[in-house]
């Protein structure tokens, strides 16, 4: 999903850069008050993990690619604003060191993978919040029910995030005058590939979250402390 250099018009790039810059300032301010020193190691581990997963990509359209995202995974452990900074750092390093995504297109790539993916996390948040009453009414199996819905919400949220991100990417490329074909080609191509990739995204997110839920549950915010924006 990394958009390469020269695919998007400035009329598309500039507004996306403004949005990314504004939300970046907001996210940094939020991180200053919410991230604790003891969280730094696990933030580094998850960032490195997502970085590695994103490097496994393949071409979809000329100048862009298909791959896993990892935004919802990071937001589950920390928050959407922290995940935004993490994904921004990943994309910046990939662009500078590996030529994966253009520098001018970096704003669009960060928008697609760090902002357009928010509905995926919101879906995760809503599903988990909705299961509070279900778990409390089922005292005998409360723990197993909570874990089940945690995994379901992680899968659904991750899948939705990659679908929306690929849709945005397809629209941006399709409406750009620099690309010779329109949205009639770009949207089906991006959605078609990522509908399949999304299954992998959901499963990997579910497995990693499930592992932490079993062996290190302290890293997953409980429902009552689950952040929506911060």
> Range with the lowest mean pLDDT among 8-22, 25-39, 177-191, 216-230?
216-230
Reported in sequence order, the residue ranges of 38-196 that DSSP labels E, i.e. its strands, are: 58-59, 65-66
Residues belonging to the chain: 230
Average pLDDT over residues 162-184: 94
CA torsion, ordered 49, 97, 172, 29, to nearest 10 deg: 60
Q: List pLDDT tens digits, range 47-88.
A: 999 999 888 877 777 667 788 899 999 999 999 999 999 999
| Residue with token string 């704003």 | 107
- pLDDT, position 177: 93
- pLDDT, position 33: 78
Can you give the residue ranges of every domain in the chain?
A: 10-225
- pLDDT, position 224: 80
pTM of full prediction above 0.85? yes
Average pLDDT over residues 203-215: 95
Q: List pLDDT tens digits, range 133-162.
A: 555 555 555 677 888 999 999 999 999 999
Q: CATH assignment of 10-225?
A: 1.10.1760.20
Closest CA to 201 of 9, 26, 209: 209
Residues 6+ apart with CB under 8 A from 230: 30, 34, 79, 80, 81
Q: List pLDDT tens digits, range 85-138.
A: 999 999 999 999 998 889 999 999 999 999 999 999 999 999 998 886 555 555
- pLDDT, position 145: 80
Could you tell me the CA-to-CA distances from 209 to 158, 180, 204 in Å, in that order?
11, 41, 8
Q: List pLDDT tens digits, range 188-199.
A: 999 999 999 999
- pLDDT, position 136: 57
Name the pLDDT band for 226 (thresholds 50, 70, 90).
confident
- pLDDT, position 181: 87
185 exposure class (CB count in 10 Å sphere: 0-12, 13-18, 19+): middle
Mean pLDDT of the chain: 90
Name the pLDDT band for 37 (thresholds 50, 70, 90).
confident
Average pLDDT over residues 25-45: 90
Name the pLDDT band for 183 (thresholds 50, 70, 90).
very high
């Amino acid at each position: 999903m990394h958009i390469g250099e020269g695919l998007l018009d400035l009329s598309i790039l500039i507004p996306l850069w403004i949005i990314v810059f504004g939300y970046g300032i907001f996210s940094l301010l939020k991180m200053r008050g919410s991230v604790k020193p003891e969280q730094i190691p696990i933030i580094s581990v998850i960032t490195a993990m997502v970085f590695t997963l994103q490097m496994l990509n393949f071409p979809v359209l000329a100048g862009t690619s298909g791959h896993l995202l990892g935004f919802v995974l990071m937001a589950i452990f920390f928050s959407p604003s922290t995940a935004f900074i993490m994904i921004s750092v990943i994309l910046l390093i990939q662009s500078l060191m590996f030529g994966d995504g253009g520098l001018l297109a970096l704003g669009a790539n960060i928008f697609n993978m760090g902002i357009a993916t928010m509905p995926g996390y919101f879906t995760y948040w809503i599903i988990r919040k909705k299961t509070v009453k279900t778990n409390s009414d089922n005292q005998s199996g409360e723990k197993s029910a909570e874990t089940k819905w945690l995994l379901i919400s992680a899968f659904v949220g991750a899948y939705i995030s990659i679908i929306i991100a690929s849709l945005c990417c397809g629209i941006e490329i399709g409406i750009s005058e620099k690309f010779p074909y329109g949205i009639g080609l770009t949207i089906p191509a991006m959605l078609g590939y990522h509908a399949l990739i999304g299954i992998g995204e959901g499963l990997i997110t579910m497995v990693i979250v499930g592992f932490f839920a079993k062996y290190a549950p302290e890293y997953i915010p409980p429902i009552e402390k689950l952040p929506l924006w911060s």
